[in-house]
Amino acid sequence: MKVLVVGSGGREHAVVDALAQSSRISKIFAAPGNGGIAEQAELVAISADDIERLASFAREQRVDLTFVGPEVPLSKGIVDVFIGHGMPVIGPTADQARLESSKSFAKRFFETNQIPTAAFSECSTPAKAYHVLERSKYPVVIKADGLAAGKGVVIAQRPDEARDAIKLLMEAKSLGEAGAKLVIEEFLAGEEASFHVFADGATFQPMVAAQDHKRRFDGDSGPNTGGMGAYSIDTILSIAQHDAVVNRIIRPTLQAARSYSGILYAGLMLTSDGPKLLEYNARFGDPETQVILFRLKTDLLDVFTDIVEHRLAARQLEWRNEAAATVVLVAREYPGRVESGKEITGLNEAKRIEGVKVYHAGTRSEGGRIYTNGGRVLNVTARGATLAQALEKAYFVAQMIEFDGKDYRRDIGKKGLAK
């Protein structure tokens, strides 16, 4: 089979790497891919949101199956276009992807379907937003309605901070149209967890749980980022929490969002009152995918084929009874502006370490060398019998790899060790 993977991050590298293990793969294309993906796939110089060119490419190359990583092409309707051309594709339609692309749509959906979530108000004008703040408890959570690449959420501790956030988002339009509408919601306390399922339009199969680390610095301090690391162990959710997520959150969602197909990722808060849904994403999480797929024993291409053929109900997913952890190596200034083009060394040595994969995110390859190309550079991912062993290996390899300005969090998985 010929497969096209759309995207260029560590998530897409993990997907390409998993597909490359399949005996049924004859060719993988990645658009636009990165320096690591280039070792397992042919890179295609089309950007991930150039839907028409991606569709033409897939048709000309007779691609059998396309997988879409990022949210932007999904929200712009890449799946609708591929389906329109009769080409098999993994992902929800633009309409279904509104569960991620519009927070107000998503919150109303949760409310209608009685899915446990934070209490909220929807605000389309600054006046309404300031009014809602007057009767809010603090901290309060303010969210831009549209896609904002992780920058759309403000947790305000005090009224003045909350008012500043509204001024910035709605009046100064700091995120453009994404902030034209806001959701103001109740702050939920607890541990976060990422829960993913594969869905084929009729049924779903849960994946193992993971936990992301969104803040830039140790101890969950500093600005939010696209993710500084993740781990996956079975004890992230208790059996009761797992059942509550499946029965009270995922099942009612997929019953209401009829025919939802692809990956659904629930961002959860494990509150003292049971798991509550913070948000949905209509795609795989990054860097959660890196640890989840590193535990998947089942052939990922078989799962993807089940999805497009609506045969997921008969599939028994098999997972390694091990822990996985990933440490994101970033450029020091990330998430601020970074300088790219630094040569990366130590990657070949890292390849020789058993139970470790270094997924590339912001890299490019040139003349047989690999250079940094963005703020999030590499995802050093390791498996171990215990989380402590997986982390030890990941950190060992994180030290072997060098590039100018390399930085990473030292406390990935620390909360999981306590479990």
Interface with ligand AMP by CB under 6 A: which residues? 118, 141, 150, 152-153, 155, 185-188, 192, 214, 267, 278-279
Least Cα distance to 115 among 249, 246, 256 occurs for 249
145 or 212: whose CB is closer to ligand GLY?
212
Shortest spacing between CB 231 and ligand GLY, in angstroms = 12
Shortest spacing between CB 286 and ligand GLY, in angstroms = 4
Task: Return the beta strands (E) in 174-272 as ranges.
Answer: 182-186, 191-200, 204-206, 211-212, 215-217, 221-224, 229-232, 261-271
Least Cα distance to 31 among 1, 64, 70 occurs for 70
Q: Which residues contact 308 (CB under 8 A, 6 or more apart)?
A: 65, 88, 89, 90, 200
CA 42 to CA 33: how far, in whole Å? 9
Nearest residue (beta carbon) to ligand GLY: 285
CA 118 to CA 75: how far, in whole Å? 24
CB 40 within 8 A of CB 20: yes
x/- site string to ligand GLY, residues 225 to 264, per CB under 6 A? --x-------------------------------------
Shortest spacing between CB 233 and ligand AMP, in angstroms = 19
**Could you tell which of ligand GLY, ligand AMP, none binds residue 286, using a CB distance below 5 to 8 A set by kind?**
ligand GLY
CB 363 within 8 A of CB 377: yes
Token output for 169: 């988002």
Kindly state whether residue 281 participates in binding ligand GLY, applying the rule CB under 6 A.
yes
Kindly state whether residue 285 participates in binding ligand GLY, applying the rule CB under 6 A.
yes
* Segment near ligand GLY (CB under 6 A); pick from 62-70, 133-141, 160-168, 281-289: 281-289
Shortest spacing between CB 281 and ligand AMP, in angstroms = 8
Shortest spacing between CB 124 and ligand GLY, in angstroms = 25
Q: Which residues contact 393 (CB under 8 A, 6 or more apart)?
A: 353, 355, 356, 382, 383, 384
Kindly state whether residue 379 participates in binding ligand GLY, applying the rule CB under 6 A.
no
33 or 152: whose CB is closer to ligand AMP?
152
Residues of span 193-232 touching ligand GLY by CB under 6 A = 212, 227
**Could you tell which of ligand AMP, ligand GLY, none binds residue 118, using a CB distance below 5 to 8 A set by kind?**
ligand AMP
3-state secondary structure of 55: helix
Identity of residue 218: D
* Segment near ligand GLY (CB under 6 A); pick from 249-257, 282-290, 308-316, 364-372: 282-290
Kindly state whether residue 286 participates in binding ligand GLY, applying the rule CB under 6 A.
yes
**What is the helix (H) or strand (E) element at residue 45, kind and residue range?**
none
**Could you tell which of ligand AMP, ligand GLY, none binds residue 227, using a CB distance below 5 to 8 A set by kind?**
ligand GLY
137 or 337: whose CB is closer to ligand AMP?
137
Count other Cβ atoms within 10 Å, centred on residue 279.
20
**Beta strands 191-200 and 261-271: pairing type?**
antiparallel
**Contacts with ligand GLY, residue ranges (CB under 6 A):** 212, 227, 281, 285-286, 288
